[in-house]
Chains A and B, each alone.
Chain A
Amino acid sequence: DAGVTQSPTHLIKTRGQHVTLRCSPISGHKSVSWYQQVLGQGPQFIFQYYEKEERGRGNFPDRFSARQFPNYSSELNVNALLLGDSALYLCASSLEGSGGFNEKLFFGSGTQLSVL
């Protein structure tokens, strides 16, 4: 049974460029969340999606956007890249994203983005 898969694993971009990161949740999971992990810090919440609807957004600028597809996979887009966007971007999936009694977040291995 496959876990959360993310692509690509590594990416190098230059300032001002645009990037798209992809995520496939665990089979049967309907909610996808995105987190940014800067080196030496804990992951920071960016977005949560459930049934193609945005359920929540963290404290990130409008350059960050995301969407969820009918098959529950998701894309994270970042426009006008800045040096400070360099980080590990983690995708996590959960059954319904409601925080119910047995709800847990399962993380992918992440996409390491370097902005030069």
Chain B
Amino acid sequence: GENVEQHPSTLSVQEGDSAVIKCTYSDSASNYFPWYKQELGKRPQLIIDIRSNVGEKKDQRIAVTLNKTAKHFSLHITETQPEDSAVYFCAASRASGTYKYIFGTGTRLKVLA
């Protein structure tokens, strides 16, 4: 069935270093890949997304890359700051049938000052 695997489950980095979170999806019909940041007790917030017709997208310190052949996509955060500490979720969806997101299990990122 549809599945998204996310690694690592926890990640600690020093402030200023880079962080990379990786996801693998199973449904080859997936064509939209959003990333959400969820702080404790708050709603998931969309931070960046990518469509299957694009290989890379960047927004300031955040970038996402997509490898459709391998069914991998990754989130890259550069120059990490303490306020980047949160749980990050990747998701995959397709524009046909029921519009639903299949989420990964999340990565808890801790940026150490």
Contacts and interface: CB of A to CB of B under 8 A. Distances in A.
15 contacts: A33-B99, A40-B106, A41-B106, A42-B103, A48-B100, A55-B98, A57-B98, A90-B44, A99-B94, A100-B95, A104-B49, A105-B34, A106-B46, A107-B45, A109-B43
Given A99-B32, A103-B95, A108-B43, A45 B106 contact: no
Interface residues of B, number: 28
Nearest to B45: A107
B42 interface: yes
Given A42-B104, A103-B32, A107-B44, 8 more contacts: A33-B100, A42-B4, A42-B105, A97-B99, A103-B95, A103-B99, A104-B34, A110-B43
B60 interface: no
A44 B99 contact: no
Interface residues of A, number: 31
Contacts of B102: 45
A107 B46 CA distance: 9
Interface string A7-50: 00000000000000000000000010101000011111100100
Contacts of B97: 56
Contacts of A101: 51, 95
A98 interface: yes
B25 interface: no
Contacts of B44: 43, 90, 107
A86 interface: no
